[in-house]
Amino acid sequence: MDALKATGDPVAFVEMQKMLSLRSLSDSTPPAVMQWWWGSHPTTLERVSLAKSS
């Protein structure tokens, strides 16, 4: 979220998150237990949601 704070551009942040997710083929909705156990960062959807709410 530091990038969002630095740029103040939620639209660009959301587009960047989408692009990174597609390129890495990451699971944007991992199972909750996996996110709880191994997730050190918010999921892509959580990041997008935070950006849209700011």
Q: How many domains does the chain have?
A: 1
Q: What is the DSSP letter of 43?
A: -
> For position 28, what pLDDT does the model report?
74
Half-sphere exposure of residue 21: CA atoms within 13 angstroms, side-chain side:
17
Range of the domain at 7: 2-53
Look up the pTM and report it.
0.72
pLDDT (0 to 100) of residue 30:
82
Per-residue pLDDT of the chain (54 residues; tens, 9 = 90+): 788 888 899 999 999 888 988 888 777 778 889 888 988 888 888 989 989 887
Is 52 within 8 Å of 10 (Cβ atoms)?
Answer: yes
**CA nearest neighbour of 43 among 5, 24, 6:** 24
